[in-house]
Structure 1
Amino acid sequence: MVPRISVDSRFRQALVIGCWLAIVGVAIMSGTAVAHSTGNHQSTHTATEAADGRIVELYPNPTTPQNHGEFVTVDIDKAGNWTLSDGEGTARLPDGIGEFAITRHPDKTATHTNATVVETSANLQLAVGGERLELRRDGQLVDRVSYEDAPESQRWHRDHESHWLPNGFQPREPATINSTPVEAFVLPDSPDAPLAAIEGADQRLYLAAYTLTSQRVVDELIAAHERGTTVRVLVEGGPVGGMSTQQADRLNRLTEAGVDVQVMTGEQARFRYHHPKYAVVDDRAVVLTENWKPSGTGGRENRGWGVTVDSPKTADELAAVFTHDATWNDTVSWSKFRSTAETTEVEAATGSYSQNQPPMTATADAVTVLTAPDNADEELIQLINSTDDRLLIVQPSIGDREFRLLRAALRAADRGVDVRILLGSRWYNEEENKALASTLRERTGQSETLTVRLAAGNGRFGKIHAKGIVADDTAVVGSINWNENSVDNNREVALAIEDAEVADYYAAVFDGDWSGGGADDLPVGILVVAIGVAGGVVLVLNRRLTFAEKR
């Protein structure tokens, strides 16, 4: 994860932003030294077997003068004569058990950790350019951690893997809920489905958005607030291309009505983009591939997937994600944020499409909440690795041939799984999708188990914007694009729905788009969809980043 970039530096940063995108995870094996990298930041750790204590967190590079507030957290399971050393200073730990944050500046540290803060007078200082720390009991080495080039305002955190994580970010495990009623739908076929999903809230209505311009959605949020419902909105502060004046008007209206609207922004933001599209409505939740705007949930252009889940546990899990994301110091109220905005031009969508695939309801065997950067990539790779018969993938584009989810899909094709990949064919992704298809052709030759197609809507939709998977009897619906930035740097949310009926529903949509679009299997031929342009205005914010997705 990387700092957000100001608009003044966007052109220079565009030349180097690509080298920030990769975060490579390496599994940790008990009792051996293991490397983990975040960009160019390396760390290793060694733990003895059956250790009674370990180093669990480092914060070497806070954004304070002289790095005041840096700390090391240790987890002690057995009381004893414990010490922590960096080779220059040695700190003695309390004679007790629990998690202790060892620091020279307890007043600065306490706001960054829930561990018991322990002040030390030892010359224990964490060098930004690299350090090695050793945890000992009665003089015997129990754990060792070393790192190189600590990223600013990030914490090294150790659980089942070691990570450099933004300060304020707490990873979540995937949450699975069994026997769950769901409604599956697609866009632009069913634009009333997302609205119906958020209607009638009595207790809570939380809406997470990359962009929000739908007047119908804003009306429902205000109506819920006026009924006494707790309504909260969280949006991305600097979407690609800027925030439209239409969105500013919508957020102004929400704020004036008394709705709590927060914006994720700033150089120390935990995510490159706040990119999810979901809502929590009392005891149900809706998760989408589409933005809350006319081209998405309004059914004016995009092919998208969505699902509503009638499940208190699923709703509570997403509410916890929302609260985590909306209540740290990288979010500010819209009323404070809007004064930083300027205006410029943007396109608008005005298409109209028929309903080819109505919604369907089922009781899913299981629904799993996936989030990025927490857990989604690992879970999706496991899902793909376990696929036996069919693997259908729809994406606007795929980052590159070496993207790890794509590599997993290629392995599935190698073992005989029918793998089909449906990509977009608009002006901004046609060439890269052609190039990817050509690369896959060279890799697979005349393989009959892997085919790639660029979709043309042919009256069914305007462009591919869905990010979906059908893997045997499991369907995945959410905001996760197949590129390193999405899974490693963005906040993303998806649901994995394990149910044959639901999987067949999305497979039928996929098949219709595959065969009804009119494009040949690549690389034999491509049919490109024409695009239309309309007018509008945009807010240019204080930063710009690499392209995550178009409208």
Structure 2
Amino acid sequence: MTWHRRLRPLGWLLVCGCLLLTAPSVGVADATATTAATGEIVELYPNPTTEQNHGEYATVTITEPGNWTLTDGEGVADLPDDRTGRFAATRHPNQTATYTNATAVAAGGSFQLAVSGETLTLRRGDSVVDTVSYEDAPESQQWRADREPRWQPTGFEPRAPTTVTDVSVEAFVLPDNPAAPIDAIDDADGRLYLAAYTLTDQRVVDELIAAHNRGVDVAVLVEGGPVGGMTERQATVLDELAAAGVDVRVMTGDAARFRYHHPKYAVADDTAVVLTENWKPSGTGGADSRGWGLTTTSAGVADELAAIFEHDTTWEDTPAWETVREEIETVEAETATGSYPQHHPPVSTTADELRVLAAPDNAESALVERINNTDDQLLVIQPSIGDRDYRLLRAAIRAADRGTEVQILLSGTWYAEEENTALAEQLRERVADDNVPLSVRVAEENNRFGKIHAKGIVADDTAVIGSLNWNDNSAENNREVAIAVTDERVADYYREVFTGDWQASGDGGGFSLLPGGELPAGLVVVAVAVISATALLAKRWLVFAEN
């Protein structure tokens, strides 16, 4: 078995930090169904990542016993006559229990859930009680009647946002305050859970090992195949943690629930820290990227993030590092060594409200709702925005259309410049036509930071900090975590940071697009390197390597 679920890494990709390939459409037509109260088809699993699809099943619920059958038109499963409950019709009863909490029932004949599409019929005697049809079942996803969207990864249970009020918070930014992420975790005495895309910051590693040595329950979850490949430095770090006895998990394998495990957060007892930055020198180390972070002392927030962490580490796609170490190839990469002054010290206050958001569960819809309710000002900072038609960008444009001041700050680093410039030109045309209060700047390196890597918004008196990039892949396929803090002082803090970065980016450090304005002549656009067409065949596509 191979544990990689995307292309083997290309070392030079790590130089670029952020690359975008559009993920091909899965081509899924959602199943359709008609239902009745006494029996219902509730779950389908047509396309597991097993040899010959062993373990596929269709689950029904029955509330009245007697004479039930399920058929795909070719084979039939006779359901128990004397019982009610949940039953999974399958050709492989011994391989089905892993994926469903139903009683397995052996199906006869040629009962088989075709990947390319099927119609299933639930009958009681000669009467049709329920039918479900689907087309093009996506790999390693279940169809569930009680979910929207119906197709979601096997082993994934979506969560609603968690809200807490009147909580202590500290808002900070990077590279200004590299001590803040360490301060958030260094006093743990009960539990310390760290979720990462990449982890190479030695200060963080030392804190994890020290906590383990003093008896703290320490666990780490990282992405097993980041874009460009896992670096030799990260593999060494994970070896060090595992050797010290820390429980290190990696999200990897063909059955992975998420295209990338991409969040950046930690839980230390009843303290939680949520970041836009990776746990590495360029991020939490303060050596390069502009990032946002928030620490909160709140049992409610910490418990919710711990619950997400437990959900994400207790499925077959998160094996222990030691068990897959030899299967994961590594690449060389340089370490950032920049140094930047502190323009913005942290600010501490008691926030009115915090909401814990996660993708693909709820983050995108929550952000759309927040933007739709913004009246005065919307500030957006992103490394890149992949498409003018992206849902959150459309919401921002609608906000500008109704008179809300909207400013968007994007990265001008070489691998994102072409894409961001093209988007800026599209928005310039919109601004020129409608004269709406929308402005865009593309920032280059300056004396405040190396590159834009923060992913956040300030919407009136609410700020959102987290790992969510503004593209469909991040919102729909990745595991992401963000926190929305509603508090005037916190919003003003990030607004001040944004304004300083905006002004620095418009003063020789980038270009500005203002209402009715023109892009400066002679703007040099650095072409993004051509990616091998083979990469398009990978199960997971290259999106924002350093995000």
The TM-score range, normalised by the shorter chain, is 0.7 to 0.9
Which of 484, 506, 517 in structure 1 is aligned with 2:472? 484
| Contact 2:77-2:105 at 8 Å conserved across structures | no
| Residue aligning to 1:546 | 542
Secondary structure in structure 2 of the residue aligned to 1:169 = coil
Residue 445 of structure 1: CA displacement? 1.9
| Residue aligning to 1:394 | 381
Which of 62, 68, 72 in structure 1 is aligned with 2:48? 62
Q: Deviations over 1:462-484 (max 9, x none)?
A: 11000001122221111011112
Q: Deviations over 1:311-358 (max 9, x none)?
A: 112111111211222222222222233323555442321111122111
Q: How many Å separate the matches in 2 of 1:307 and 1:374?
A: 21
Which of 444, 456, 461 in structure 1 is aligned with 2:444? 456
- Quick one: structure 1 residues 116 and 390, their matched pair in 2 at CA, closer, same or farther if it must change by over 3 Å? farther
| Residue aligning to 1:5 | 6
* Structure 1 gap ranges (5+): 12-16, 23-38, 532-541
| Residue aligning to 1:406 | 393
- Quick one: structure 1 residues 398 and 115, their matched pair in 2 at CA, closer, same or farther if it must change by over 3 Å? same
| Residue aligning to 1:223 | 210
Which of 355, 359, 362 in structure 2 is aligned with 1:368? 355
| Contact 1:238-1:543 at 8 Å conserved across structures | no
* Structure 2 gap ranges (5+): 13-19, 527-537
- Quick one: structure 1 residues 134 and 291, their matched pair in 2 at CA, closer, same or farther if it must change by over 3 Å? same
| 1:325 matched to 2:321 | no
- Quick one: structure 1 residues 8 and 382, their matched pair in 2 at CA, closer, same or farther if it must change by over 3 Å? closer
Residue 138 of structure 1: CA displacement? 6.5
Secondary structure in structure 2 of the residue aligned to 1:410 = helix
Secondary structure in structure 2 of the residue aligned to 1:383 = helix
* Residue pairs, 1:215-364, within 5 angstroms: 215-342=202-329, 344-364=331-351
| Residue aligning to 1:75 | 61
Secondary structure in structure 1 of the residue aligned to 2:96 = helix
Secondary structure in structure 2 of the residue aligned to 1:162 = coil
Q: How many Å separate the matches in 1 of 2:339 and 2:303?
A: 35
Q: How many Å separate the matches in 2 of 1:339 and 1:59?
A: 31
Give the residue type in structure 1 aligned to 2:381. V
Give the residue type in structure 1 aligned to 2:116. G
Residue 111 of structure 1: CA displacement? 1.2
Q: Deviations over 1:167-207 (max 9, x none)?
A: 22222222222332221111111111100001111111011
Residue 433 of structure 1: CA displacement? 0.6
Residue 459 of structure 1: CA displacement? 1.1
| 1:516 matched to 2:504 | yes
Residue 456 of structure 1: CA displacement? 3.5
| Contact 1:278-1:287 at 8 Å conserved across structures | yes
- Quick one: structure 1 residues 76 and 341, their matched pair in 2 at CA, closer, same or farther if it must change by over 3 Å? closer
Equivalenced residues, count? 517
Q: Which moved more, 1:281-290 or 1:360-369?
A: 360-369
Q: Which moved more, 1:82-91 or 1:185-194?
A: 82-91
Q: How many Å separate the matches in 2 of 1:228 and 1:505?
A: 37
| 1:421 matched to 2:421 | no
Q: How many Å separate the matches in 2 of 1:139 and 1:513?
A: 70
Residue 213 of structure 1: CA displacement? 0.8
- Quick one: structure 1 residues 409 and 137, their matched pair in 2 at CA, closer, same or farther if it must change by over 3 Å? farther
Residue 96 of structure 1: CA displacement? 4.7
Residue 151 of structure 1: CA displacement? 2.3
Residue 125 of structure 1: CA displacement? 2.2
| Contact 2:90-2:104 at 8 Å conserved across structures | yes
Residue 246 of structure 1: CA displacement? 2.0
- Quick one: structure 1 residues 160 and 424, their matched pair in 2 at CA, closer, same or farther if it must change by over 3 Å? same
Residue 140 of structure 1: CA displacement? 4.8
Q: How many Å separate the matches in 1 of 2:104 and 2:432?
A: 60
| Residue aligning to 1:130 | 117
TM-score of the pair, normalised by structure 1: 0.87
| 1:440 matched to 2:427 | yes
Residue 117 of structure 1: CA displacement? 2.9
- Quick one: structure 1 residues 62 and 188, their matched pair in 2 at CA, closer, same or farther if it must change by over 3 Å? same
Secondary structure in structure 1 of the residue aligned to 2:499 = helix
Q: How many Å separate the matches in 2 of 1:492 and 1:463?
A: 21
Q: How many Å separate the matches in 2 of 1:153 and 1:550?
A: 26
TM-score of the pair, normalised by structure 2: 0.87
| Contact 2:235-2:330 at 8 Å conserved across structures | no
Residue 544 of structure 1: CA displacement? 8.0
Q: Which moved more, 1:374-383 or 1:50-59?
A: 50-59
- Quick one: structure 1 residues 528 and 235, their matched pair in 2 at CA, closer, same or farther if it must change by over 3 Å? farther
| Contact 1:420-1:451 at 8 Å conserved across structures | yes
| Residue aligning to 2:487 | 499
Secondary structure in structure 1 of the residue aligned to 2:500 = helix
- Quick one: structure 1 residues 144 and 361, their matched pair in 2 at CA, closer, same or farther if it must change by over 3 Å? farther
- Quick one: structure 1 residues 53 and 420, their matched pair in 2 at CA, closer, same or farther if it must change by over 3 Å? farther
Secondary structure in structure 2 of the residue aligned to 1:258 = coil
